[in-house]
Amino acid sequence: MNKKNPEVVMVTGASAGVGRATALAFAKRGAHLGLIARGLPGLESLRKEIEALGARAVVLQCDVADPEQVEASAKKLEETFGPINVWVNNAMTTIFAPFKKIEPAEYKRATEVTYLGAVYGTMAAVKRMLSRDSGTIVQVGSALAYRSIPLQSPYCGAKHAILGFTASLRSELLHDGSNVHITMVHLPAMNTPQFEWCRTRLPRHPQPVPPIFEPEVAAEAIYWAAHHRRREVRVGASTVKAIIGNKVMPSTLDHYLGNIGYEAQQTHDPVLPDRPDNLFEPVDTDYGTHGSFGAKSANFSLQTWSTLHRGTLAAAAAGAAVLAWATVGRKKKARHKR
C-alpha cells in the first residue's frame, strides 16, 4: 500500500504488549489502524503514539468476547478508513494457577477472550474479505499451541483451539479458491505486561519461561506474515525446539515440565495484595508495550531474522556456491596449464 491508498489494519489486544508493538510496526509503514481492547487509557496513549508517527488510528474500546461488539468495531473501522486489508487477532487473558484452583467462571472467561475472541474477530474479517476476495488474517499463536505447560491450562487450551480452528478454516478457503489468506505466528516467551495484570493464584509473581524476547521481535514477524503467504511463522529458536520436541518426545517433556514448570514460571517476589486483575474488567492504567523483564529479554532473534530473510539467505548461499564452483574451476585450469 502507498500513502495515497494506505493499508487498513485491525489489531485486537492493542493496548499493551505484542498488540501494541504490532500496531506501531504497521503505523511506521503508514497504515491506518483500528485499535481494539478493553482498557481505554492504553488505547488512547497508543493512538497518540501512532499519530506522532504520522499515521492514523481509531480507538475501538471493545470486549472481544462479545461478537456484537467485535462486529460493530469492524463496521466503525471501515466507515472511518475503508476496507480492512489485515486483521490481527492478538487479544488474550488468562489465570496463572493449577487447574484444580481455577473456578469454572474464570476458565470460561479466559477461553471466551483468548479463543472465542479470535473466532469472532475472524468472523468479522472473513465476512468482509470474502466479498472482495482479498485480505489477510493473522492469528497470534504460541509455542504453547503445540506444547502445553503447567499453570497455564486456560491459555494453552485456547491456543491449541485457535490452531485447530485456523487449520479448518484454511482448508475451507482453499476449497473455495479464495484469495483470502490466514496465517499463524507462534511466539516464544515475551516481555509483556500480562504478567503484571493477569489473575494469579501463585504464591510468587508470575514470569515468562526464559528465553524471553521483547514484543518488537514478535511485531516484526506479524507484520511480515501479513504480507507473505506463509502458512505459519515460528518466532525464536525456543519455539521451534518446543514444537519439534513435542513431536519427538512428548512424554519426556510432560515429566520435565512437571518437575521444573512451577519454579520456572515464578520470580522470587511475592504476589502483591493490591495486584491489578484484568480477567473480568480492564485495568485503568496505561501499561505500555513492555513488561518488567527487560533486563532478561532479547530484542533480536537470529532464528526469526533468518526465517523472515529466507529468500535473501538462499540467494546468498546460491551466490556463494557459484563463486566456490568458479574458484575451483579456475584452480583446475591453472593446474592443467602447468
Q: Which residue has the higher pLDDT, 207 or 336?
A: 207
Angle, to 10 degrees, between the axis of helix 117-132 and the axis of helix 67-81? 40
Q: How confident is the model over 330-336, as a mean pLDDT?
A: 63
- Among the options 115, 120, 155, 287, which is catalytic? 155
Rounded Cα gap, residues 183 and 252, in angstroms: 30
Q: Give the dihedral of Cα atoms 121, 122, 125, 130; nearest 10 deg.
A: -160
Q: What confidence category does residue 326 fall into, taking pLDDT thresholds of 50, 70 and 90?
A: low
Rg value, the chain, Cα? 22
Specify the pLDDT at position 314: 55
Specify the pLDDT at position 325: 64
Where do runs of H (alpha helix) occur along the chain?
Answer: 17-27, 40-52, 67-81, 104-111, 117-132, 153-175, 194-197, 215-225, 237-248, 250-264, 302-308, 310-337
What cell numbers appear for 127 in the block?
A: 465476512
Q: What percentage of residues in the chain have a pLDDT greater than 90?
A: 88
Residues 59 and 74: beta-carbon distance below 8 Å:
no
Q: What confidence category does residue 310 fall into, taking pLDDT thresholds of 50, 70 and 90?
A: confident
Q: Give the dihedral of Cα atoms 249, 253, 254, 256; nearest 10 deg.
A: 140
Q: How confident is the model over 66-92, as a mean pLDDT?
A: 98
Active site residue 223: no
Specify the pLDDT at position 110: 98
CATH class of 8-300: alpha beta
pLDDT digits (tens, 9 = 90+) for 175-233: 999 999 999 999 999 999 999 999 999 999 999 999 999 999 999 999 999 999 999 99
Specify the pLDDT at position 63: 98
For the cut 90, the answer to whether the pLDDT of residue 336 exceeds it is: no
Query: What is this structure's pTM?
Result: 0.92
Specify the pLDDT at position 5: 87
pLDDT digits (tens, 9 = 90+) for 94-153: 999 999 999 999 999 999 999 999 999 999 999 999 999 999 999 999 999 999 999 999
pLDDT averaged over every residue in the chain: 94
SS3 302: helix
Q: How confident is the model over 309-318, as a mean pLDDT?
A: 60
Domain regions of the chain by residue span: 8-300
